[in-house]
Structure formats: structure tokens, C-alpha cells
Amino acid sequence: MSRSFRAELVKLVRRPAAWLLLAITLALSLIFTYLFPYAGVAGGADGPNTDRALPAMLPDHLVGNSLGGLPVFLGAILLILGVLVVGGEYGWGTWKTLLTQGPTRLQVYAGKVLALAVAALAVVVAVFAVGAVASALIASAEAQPVRWPSAADLLAGVGAGWLIATMWAMLGAVLAVTLRAVALPVGLGLVWMLAVQNLLAAIAAPLVDWVATAQRGLPGPNAGALAAALGAPGDTPGVAATVGGGQATVVVAAYLVGFAAVGAALLRRRDID
Amino acid sequence: MNLPVQTEGLSKRYGGLTAVRDLDLTVRPGEVYGFLGPNGAGKTTTLRMLLGLVRPSAGTVRLFGRTPGAGRLAGVGALIEGPAFYPYLSGRENLRVLARYTGVGADRVALVLDLVDLADRAGDRYSGYSLGMKQRLGVAAALLKDPRLLILDEPTNGLDPAGMADMRTLIRRLGAAGCTVVVSSHLLGEVEQVCDRVGVIARGRLVAEGSVAELRGGAGLRLLADPLDEAAARARELVGADRVRVVDGGLELAVEPDRAAWLNTELVGAGLAVRELRPRERDLEQVFFDLVERGTADVA
């Protein structure tokens, strides 16, 4: 398995699309967490999100600010990465090339899962790092005190971020195995994350009790609740304390394991065309 | 003895369609085995089942005596249904990535690139390769593990005539070096030139198996002599009436070719003018079409 993991890591690092996704992730995080809010503060604008004032952009809010995008927008990018890593083998027809070299399907799949987990950690750490630089610059520009979160809070934040990011990447992986493609899993995954989840939360849940109850077991709301529990701003799309942090952690971890296991079972069972 | 390839009752069904049925295939050590059949006959499905890419609906597969499971493809290299690699990597990087899965060293990568004459372009991106270069990279990948059994599915697809000749030379060389090679093809000439034994598949069934000479059928002689009717009469007296046929203005004699000198002496002694007397071989193409037609009719 370690050979497969190393091979998958090399493929991921050499793949231009992976770097493009990382760049988009960091740009989105920077723009929506710091750039626009800071522009609003600097310009003295009034609006629906003006409660996110200067103190919310300072280093002591680094953990919450870094996690805010993961339940929806940054999570969607991780889902795309998961689809690319697994679905690319279907798109290029390279499963047969890999498997005729001798590794079993599960060895290759485990290598991919581990590579995605490492990539998710790298993305989350990069988001924290960019956020740290941005918040420090804002604090410096506004002559505000720089107070960093404790190491334990940072560690918990990175851990929670990794859990959410890896879960979305695994959803991408299982969709790719299920649909044996790239485009359709990306499309369906994004529709779920960006449209259906929001419709359920904003329209269906307030009207129908069982939808509101079901929400508490879905991956998106639990990811949002986990981010909220660690200080993500409540006005961020997808972030809401619908359940407690402990339950959210367990549910997100269960989805992560479940998605990975279903993908492995399907890949092992099906023919490679 | 652990045979390189042995299948028993191998079948694959897709819904109502039977792609491969009751296939008993045996490939002996060190031979170059041709797997011949028209497009859609079930060749690639069979090879995919050998390699564990497709699960059989029934029957068993053994490679060197091993049933499906981890490590079954140790010592086995394959190129199935065209090459497939990562377009953003170079040819060399693609092979190095594959080598990582099996622990093959970089020196072996360089060696196989040389072997398929791709070393000069190994640093170019795969997406820029011609079809022939992609095919050669596919063969290089199949050779990465220095296999004892090499399975090549239509290996000359996309190659120009020189590339096809190179591929045949490579296959013969590997066979001579003791590597067992299974080559699937729909090209008779290709199989005829490189294979020790041939299996013919039609509509998913193995309809014939043997050496090219065996498939061609019994030996014989082709005779042109004047006058033809007298030559035919004399030939019937000499070898038996049931062994002589008039075909295309000449005679076909179902006798061993080493009787040609004796026959010539007798015919000339009888005052006949013998213009041509040579061994007769059945056209392999005709043999192939006969077998495929027979196999198709049997299934229907």
C-alpha cells in the first residue's frame, strides 16, 4: 500500500489541475474571508454582513475564519479533487494500466484515499497559513493587537478542517467510482453541495419537520455545525450550529469512513472496462 | 506443471449477451500463442478475465497455477485494448509512476524505453505522442516487470509498417528468450509470422487451436500438366481417385509433398508435359474464414 500511496502522491503533485484547485481555494478563502470584509470596513459600508467588523478579521479569529468556507464552497473544491483523483483513472482508461502492473484494486484505492487525506491536510494548513498572514497584515495596518489562538485551538481547528475537507474529498471519490466518470460526479456533487443542501436548509427544513430532523444527520449541516462549534462566523453559508460539536465530529467522521468504504466495495466488485 | 495460462470453462455474460462461452485455453511455457478472431469475437474480454480486470461469469483462470488474488500478476506484463497513460506526464514519468506501484527501479524504465525505441522522446508529454509512440509506450509498460508471460492485445494497432515489423521482431525475440507471449489479433499475417500456436475464437467460442500448419490442414501437391485430362487420369491411377481434384485448371493431389519426385517421374514417363509441381498450402485466410463461419453457425 505504501508503494501505491507514493505513486498516487507523485501523480497528484505533478498534476496541474491539483495546483489550480489549491490556488482557487486560497484565493476564495482570502477574498471572501478577508478582502471583501476588510474593504467593507475600510469603506464604512452598511450591509447585511457588516457585523463582521474589524475584530472578526484579526488573528485571534483565525480558526473560525479558516473553517468557515469548508462546509460549502471550499468543500466543493475538495469534492472536485476527490473526483479528479479517482475518476481520472476512468476518464483516461488508466485503471487497466495500473492494475496490470500487479497491485490489487484495494491497494491502489487505499493509496488514493491516503493521498487525498494528505492533500486535504495540505489544503487546510494552507488556508490557515494564508489566513494567518492576511489577519496579521490587517492587524498591522489597523494598529490592532496581534493575539494568536492557542496551539490547542489551532490543532483542533486544523483537525476539524481536515476532517471536513477529507469527508468531501471522499464523497467525490465515491461518486467517481459509482458513476465511473469525471464530469457527471463533479456536476452532481456540486448540485448537491451548492443547491440541494441550501434548498433543504432554507426552504424545506422550516416547513417540514422530518426534513429538519433529517438535516441533523446530513454531511453538510454537520460539517457546518463542526465549523460553527470552533468559531466559524454564523453568517457564512452552510455554517450553523444545528447540532453540537461532538455529534458533528462523530457524524462527519462516520461519513468520511462510510464514503471511503463504499467506494472500496464498489471498486472491488465491478469490472474494469 | 504450472502452465502460463490455463482456463477451464471460462464464460462471461453481459445480461443476455454471452461474450465468452466455455473457453478452455492452454498456453505452454515459452511459446508465442496467437489469439485470433474477428472484431467482437471475445478476445479482449478473455484477456481482461485472464488479468482480473473482468470477473468471469463461470469457469476458472490460472496464470502459472495461481488463481485470482493478490500477487497473481507477478511476472505478467500486459497491454490491453490500446495504451492508456496520464496525459500531463512525460513517457518516462508515466513509466516511473507505474514502476513505483511494483517497486521496479529507474534503470529498468530506461531499459524498456530503449527496447521500444522511445528513449529520445521519453521526456515529451504523453499527450503529444503519436498513436504509434503511445502504442510503443504501452509495450514498454508491459515489459517493466521483465515478465515471464506477456499478454499483448492487438499490439501493432496504430503502428506504421516499419513499426509493425519492429514489433514482430520484438515478439519473436522475447519468445526466443523464453518469455511466453500471448498475442491477440484480427490480422492473420501478423499471427502467422510470429506465433507457434494459434487459437481461433468466434462468437466467444474457441473454434480451433493448433499450429499454423495444423490449421492449414493436410499437406498436398499442386500439379499443372498437359494434357490435363490425361494427367488427371494417370494421377488417379497412381495415388487413388479420391485424392485427385481438378481445381482452377490444374490438379490438387492429397499426397505428402515428398512424393513429388516419384510422381513427376511417373507422369513424364507416361508422356505428359509437367509444367509445375509444388507443395500446396491452404490459404490461412480461407481457413480462418471457414473456422469463423463454422463457429458462428454452431452458436446460431
Q: What is the pTM of this model?
A: 0.86
> Of B8, B2, B40, B35, nearest to B203 (Cα)?
B40
Task: For residue B110, name the pLDDT band (cuts at 50, 70, 90).
Answer: very high
pLDDT value at residue A201: 84
Quick one: closest CA in B to A8, which residue? B97
**Minimal Cα–Cα distance from A124 to chain B, Å?**
26
**pLDDT at res. A44:** 67
Q: What pLDDT, on the 0 to 100 scale, is given for residue A43? A: 75
ipTM computed for the complex: 0.90
Using a CB–CB cutoff of 8 Å, tell me whether B89 touches chain A. yes
Mutate which of A13, A92, A100, A105 to test chain B, going by most B C-beta atoms within 10 A?
A100
Residues making up chain B, counted from first to last: 300
How does pLDDT run across A57-108, given as a tens digit for each residue?
A: 999 999 999 999 999 999 999 999 999 999 999 999 999 999 999 899 999 9
- pLDDT value, residue B282: 65
Report d(CA B7, CA B211) in Å as an integer. Answer: 19
**Which pLDDT value is given to residue B42?**
92
Q: How far is A100 from chain B (nearest CA, A)?
A: 6
d(CA B103, CA B95): 12
In angstroms, the CA B283 to CA B217 distance is 10
Instruction: Give me chain B's average pLDDT, please.
Output: 88
Query: Hey, of A6, A84, A101, A182, which one would you mutate to test binding to chain B, going by the most B CBs within 10 A of its CB?
Result: A101
Is the confidence at residue A252, as pLDDT, over 70? yes
Enter the DSSP assignment of A109: H
* pLDDT tens profile A148-161: 999 999 999 999 99
Mean pLDDT of B211-217: 76
Domains and CATH numbers, chain B: 5-215 (3.40.50.300), 218-280 (3.30.70.980)
Count interface pairs A-B at CB distance under 8 A.
85
Q: Which of B87, B88, B100 sits opposite A6 (nearest CB)?
A: B100
Chain A residues touching residue B81 (CB < 8 angstroms): 96
pLDDT of residue B122: 95
Q: Of B89, B170, B106, B102, nearest to B136 (Cα)?
A: B170
